[in-house]
Amino acid sequence: MEVGGWEVIKKYVELDLGISIFMSICITGDEKLSILPASRFFPNRTYGIVLRKGKILSPQARRFMELLLHKKRRAVAEDH
């Protein structure tokens, strides 16, 4: 069975209608669920900035990107 929305899926699991795999961000701690860590079975996630081709960024969006890229450069420099 396929259903949409994390809250619906969590409710089905709480009602004993199956099991599921969630990202930790979906768990609030208020659920009546047992959580078993499974990160060793899944690859690390990679995130990126998505924007429309050819769009001129607002000053706020440009600054946000600059902050992210600066933080990334610092993290890379600290690893070496």
Kindly give, in sequence order, each residue whose CB lies less than 8 Å from that of residue 6, ignoring residues fewer than 6 positions away.
Answer: 22, 26
Phi then psi for residue 5, to 5 deg, are 85, 125
Per-residue pLDDT band for 74 (boundaries 50, 70, 90) equals: confident
pLDDT in tens, 32-43: 999 888 888 888
Q: What is the pLDDT of residue 17?
A: 93
pLDDT in tens, 8-24: 999 999 999 999 998 88
Kindly give, in sequence order, each residue whose CB lies less than 8 Å from that of residue 46, ignoring residues fewer than 6 positions away.
Answer: none
Cβ–Cβ < 8 Å for 13, 33:
yes
Average pLDDT, the chain: 85
